[in-house]
Amino acid sequence: MSENKIPYKIYLSEDEMPRAWYNLRADMKVKPAPLLNPGTHQPMTAEELEGVFCRELVAQELDDETPFFEIPREIRDFYKMYRPSPLVRAYCLEEKLQTPAKIYYKFEGNNTSGSHKLNSAIAQAYYAKRQGLKGVTTETGAGQWGTALSMACGYLGLECRVYMVKCSYEQKPFRREVMRVYGASVTPSPSDTTSVGRKILQEFPGTTGSLGCAISEAVEAALSAPGYRYVLGSVLNQVLLHQSVIGLEAKAAMDKYGVKPDIIIGCAGGGSNLGGLIAPFMGEKLRGEADYRIIAVEPASCPSLTRGEFRYDFCDTGMVCPLAKMYTLGSAFMPSADHAGGLRFHGMSSILSQLYHDGFMEAISVRQTDVFEAAEEFARVEGILPAPESSHAILAAVNEAKRCKETGEEKTILFGLTGTGYFDLVAYEKFHNGQMQNVIPTDEDIAKSLAQLPEVL
Ligand SMILES: *Cc1c(COP(=O)(O)O)cnc(C)c1O
């Protein structure tokens, strides 16, 4: 099909939407390392995990072999309210950049929660409901996950308690209200409602919180409330599984027009959108059927892949969660408070960590002010106000497209535009007022938190 036939937006019909999630681990020769019990350092059993997580989700978490999991009909119906998400050909951006590159982005911001997180939120809430649970607890950093989970719980009639990282709670009061619209209760973290929160407050008075700390509080809250389980919005294998719907749709849309990406780019916080976007492409790469350049983009303020170590670490500050083998800056790492994006987790998905370690993907880190410059350039030509997190991917895609201009190569670039920036206007305001700084940890900062990593033989 000739080039000019490709529309600005490629949609799939409802019939063309994926009916099963794809489990990338099934095609990995070297599987991601198992979660370990923090006390015994033995692999976590399903039984142990079921004390914290929902049963069906534990089964998904531990399954490294089954390539496809059928998406239950109820979840597919929910997906139809806001999916398929558009795959956009960025003609206007290409024109602006005067690049021979062909740029596509998969836009996940077209739902009230404003990001891709709803794809996993509805799945996790569904399995909790089916198990007959009363409610779920969770943490939220920038607020997108909490919003998504609130929507899913509101829809299914499940209680939802959200621990929100304090600096976001204060910076983004409207996110908090959206969660309350959907019936969730929202507590700023660290709080005095949990023993781990009280301990952190004592040790770091005046702390603005971190994702790792909010996770500890949410886990403790789930363990102490009957009929409750804890759910997590990123990092875990099950979350990447649910997010594969992004990549499956993107690939189906591209296949429709015979388009094959050369470069696939995504921002990486805990790794769920990137893991989901690349899943079917990485599957082909692992099976030797095709090759793609895959790039993870992380903030220079929280550079787990590019400056962390591939080790077992805690997923939370309070050290109550299982140990995961991942690229980590250390669970004691506190990213700078003024960093605007929600990519502030100290670790990275075990799946992506293993793939990166084995050379199947690349990673770069970028500076915050450069990210906001790219975000505004994008907004002005493509119309969408992008989330700061997503804009990390925009910056990397723009840089690749500029490189194509220099070399004359007609590369096809696909990137994940994970969400909208309507709730991030305080960050944009700082940028406009010249108050945004690039706080980049020193080698000593990182060495200090890495020195506290648990010894796992
Ligand atoms: C949470 C979030 C991210 C980062 O999380 P991942 O699990 O790495 O995908 C990126 N973009 C947006 C809009 C988010 O809400």
Pair of tokens at residue 143: 């607020």
The arithmetic mean of pLDDT across residues 115-141, rounded, is 97
Give bridge partners of residue 164 from the DSSP assignment: 140, 188
Strand 68-70 vs strand 20-22: parallel, antiparallel, or unpaired? antiparallel
Buried b or exposed e, range 83-94, using 16+ CB within 10 angstroms: bbbbbbbbbbbb
Report the nearest atom of ligand 1 relative to the CA of 272.
Answer: 7
Residue matched to tokens 């969408």:
384
First-to-last CA distance in the chain? 55
Q: Give the whole-angstrom CA distance, residue 366 versus residue 349.
A: 19
Give bridge partners of residue 264 from the DSSP assignment: 294, 414
E strands within 108-247?
Answer: 135-140, 159-165, 185-189, 228-230
The reported pLDDT for the residue numbered 344 is: 77
Residues 401-443: tens digit of each pLDDT = 999 999 999 999 999 999 999 988 989 999 999 999 999 999 9
The reported pLDDT for the residue numbered 210 is: 81
The reported pLDDT for the residue numbered 2 is: 47
Contact 389 CB / ligand 1 (< 6 Å) = yes
Q: Measure 266 CA to ligand 1 centroid, in angstroms.
A: 9
Computed over every residue of the chain, the mean pLDDT equals 94
Q: What is the DSSP letter of 4?
A: G
Report the nearest atom of ligand 1 relative to the CA of 144.
Answer: 15
- Predicted confidence band at 341 (pLDDT cuts at 50, 70, 90)? low
Residues 236-285: tens digit of each pLDDT = 999 999 999 999 999 999 999 999 999 999 999 999 999 999 999 999 99
- Predicted confidence band at 1 (pLDDT cuts at 50, 70, 90)? very low
Q: Give the whole-angstrom CA distance, residue 267 versus residue 269.
A: 7
The reported pLDDT for the residue numbered 209 is: 86
Outline where 257-289 has alpha helix (H). Answer: 272-286
Residue 237 · residue 25 · CB < 8 Å: yes
Residues 192-223: tens digit of each pLDDT = 999 999 999 999 999 888 888 899 999 999 99
Contact 71 CB / ligand 1 (< 6 Å) = no
Q: What is the DSSP string of 76-142?
A: HHHHHHH-SPPEEE-HHHHHHHT-S-EEEEEE---STT-BTTHHHHHHHHHHHHHTT--EEEEEESS
Q: In the predicted model, is pLDDT for residue 3 greater than 80? A: no
Q: Do domains 3-17+72-114+238-450 and 26-66+117-230 have the same CATH topology?
A: yes
Contact 119 CB / ligand 1 (< 6 Å) = no
Q: Give the whole-angstrom CA distance, residue 127 versus residue 125.
A: 6
pTM of the model: 0.96
- Predicted confidence band at 338 (pLDDT cuts at 50, 70, 90)? low
Q: In the predicted model, is pLDDT for residue 339 greater than 60? A: no
Give bridge partners of residue 263 from the DSSP assignment: 293, 413
The reported pLDDT for the residue numbered 213 is: 87
Q: In the predicted model, is pLDDT for residue 337 greater than 80? A: no
Q: Give the whole-angstrom CA distance, residue 181 versus residue 195.
A: 28
Contact 137 CB / ligand 1 (< 6 Å) = no
Residue 8 · residue 290 · CB < 8 Å: no
The reported pLDDT for the residue numbered 457 is: 72
The arithmetic mean of pLDDT across residues 162-185, rounded, is 93
Q: Measure 118 CA to ligand 1 centroid, in angstroms.
A: 11
Cis peptide before 84 (omega within 30 of 0): yes
Q: In the predicted model, is pLDDT for residue 4 greater than 80? A: no
Q: In the predicted model, is pLDDT for residue 127 greater than 80? A: yes
Q: Measure 5 CA to ligand 1 centroid, in angstroms.
A: 32
So where are the chain's domains? 3-17+72-114+238-450, 26-66+117-230
Architecture of the domain made up of 26-66+117-230: 3-Layer(aba) Sandwich (3.40)
Q: Measure 179 CA to ligand 1 centroid, in angstroms.
A: 17
Pocket test for ligand 1, best of 144, 145, 240, 243 (most atoms within 8 A of CB): 144
The reported pLDDT for the residue numbered 324 is: 96
The arithmetic mean of pLDDT across residues 8-16, rounded, is 94
Contact 351 CB / ligand 1 (< 6 Å) = no
In 3D, which of 194, 196, 187, 184 has the Cα closest to residue 158? 184
Pocket test for ligand 1, best of 149, 267, 424 (most atoms within 8 A of CB): 267
Residue 313 · residue 323 · CB < 8 Å: yes
Q: What is the DSSP string of 380-391?
A: HHH---B-HHHH
Architecture of the domain made up of 3-17+72-114+238-450: 3-Layer(aba) Sandwich (3.40)
The reported pLDDT for the residue numbered 317 is: 76
- Predicted confidence band at 340 (pLDDT cuts at 50, 70, 90)? low
- Predicted confidence band at 318 (pLDDT cuts at 50, 70, 90)? confident
Q: Measure 288 CA to ligand 1 centroid, in angstroms.
A: 29
